[in-house]
Amino acid sequence: MRTLALLVTLACFASAQHQALIDYLERRLLAIEDRISLWHEQSTRYASELRELKQQMVAQLENLDKEKEALRVNLEGMGTRVDRVEREMDYLETQNGAQPCVDVDDKLVEQQVMQVKEKNKAKYEKLSDCRHMMSSIKAMKILKRVGGSKGTWTKDINGLLGKVYIFNGTNEETIHEFASVQDFSISQGTSLAKPWNLPSSWKGTGHVVYNSHAYYVKEAEEVMVVKYDLRNGTVVDSAVFPVQDHVPVYGLNPETVIDLAVDEEGLWAIFATRQNERRISLAKMDARTLDIEQMWDTTCPQENAEAAFIICGTLYVVYNTKQPGRSHVQCVYDVNDMVTNEDAPLVYFPKRYGANSSLKYNPLEQLLYAWDDGYQILYKLVLKKKLEI
């Protein structure tokens, strides 16, 4: 009996305990369920936020990819260009002077879309039908080495006979005339040349030969342009160049005060004065009378300029550095306002030393006659049309 009572008591106790445990577990489960549903809610929210974030990331990554691709293409382009230039330089380095024309890739030149820029400036009245601009250098030929480090050589521009003239040095009096480029090529020094002794010495490397006349710069008390007839050896005319405070027109070639040039439109003078903050100025001259028709202050700095030439009324200034690198056209100025610096191609010369040089453009042949540290070099130019207006 006692045993039974004990058993019942125990059973009751156990059942009560059991019930308490079940209650407890139920409460816990409810709490857990609550939390699970909360978590579920939160995780759904997180998931949608994550999705949104992922979408944003994908979009940004896509953009980045695009940019990366563009960058890669650019870099690749640059790389091939640098390689090509390097190869061409190596190639040129291995050529000796007697080799004929060396082709230079046109792609050396960065071509840009042309654009007419509006400027409130009087246009050059005598706008000719000449509408070409420089595009690239197609070929070069090193003819020979005659004379000292500085000088000028040129063909008679517009002269019918194709005679070639050598102005050796920057302060001399004797012009050497060759019957042709061939004669000049085969001549031992100046043995095949006819000498012309000028009545006064020239100054710098700024001379041209045009229509059987030599135009040269003489520096006495004033700077003068002299016109000399190369048929009978007489001074036809001379004129004081009406500009004060001359400075050398090219920073790298201090002997040249005025550089004369001929293009399709006739005779020009390239010069610099202290007034124009050391920028290069330009004057159109009448080749017949030596009158100055019009003047321009260009935007091209004189510093580090080495030489310049004019094509269809556009001045192309060639620059280098005191430690000679590759010469390149870096500034252009068009008196007709059709070519701006942005339109102009960046043209590198295949091989030049950077000083002791002069460039003379022949508009009939589209050739540059270059004197480069005593070497006589020809550069064949490629021209293209300026934008039609």
Q: Which residues bind ligand NAG (CB under 6 A)?
A: 146-149, 168-169, 189-190, 229, 231-232, 234, 324, 353-356, 373
Question: Residue 75 is encoded by which pair of tokens?
Answer: 């870099």
CA distance 322 to 385: 34
- What is the nearest approach in angstroms of ligand NAG to the Cβ of residue 351? 13
Specify the 3-state DSSP secondary structure of 108. helix
**Residue with structure tokens 């940004």?**
60
- What is the nearest approach in angstroms of ligand NAG to the Cβ of residue 176? 7
- What is the nearest approach in angstroms of ligand NAG to the Cβ of residue 171? 9
CA distance 192 to 174: 14
Q: Nearest residue to ligand NAG, using CB? A: 148
- What is the nearest approach in angstroms of ligand NAG to the Cβ of residue 88? 21
Which residues share a beta bridge with 219? 223
CA distance 102 to 105: 10
- What is the nearest approach in angstroms of ligand NAG to the Cβ of residue 236? 7
Q: Which is nearer to ligand NAG, 223 or 230 (CB)?
A: 230
Q: Which is nearer to ligand NAG, 228 or 316 (CB)?
A: 228
- What is the nearest approach in angstroms of ligand NAG to the Cβ of residue 57? 57
- What is the nearest approach in angstroms of ligand NAG to the Cβ of residue 387? 38
Enclosing H/E stretch for 175: strand 174-178
What CA–CA distances, in Å, run from 184 to 191, 198, 233, 234, 259? Answer: 9, 21, 21, 24, 24
Q: Which is nearer to ligand NAG, 147 or 248 (CB)?
A: 147
Q: Where are the alpha helices (DSSP H) in the chain?
A: 2-94, 181-186
Question: Residue 91 is encoded by which pair of tokens?
Answer: 């190639």
Q: Which is nearer to ligand NAG, 48 or 234 (CB)?
A: 234
What CA–CA distances, in Å, run from 251 to 163, 308, 309, 321? Answer: 31, 12, 15, 10
Q: Which is nearer to ligand NAG, 147 or 159 (CB)?
A: 147
Q: Which is nearer to ligand NAG, 94 or 191 (CB)?
A: 191
Q: Which is nearer to ligand NAG, 162 or 324 (CB)?
A: 324
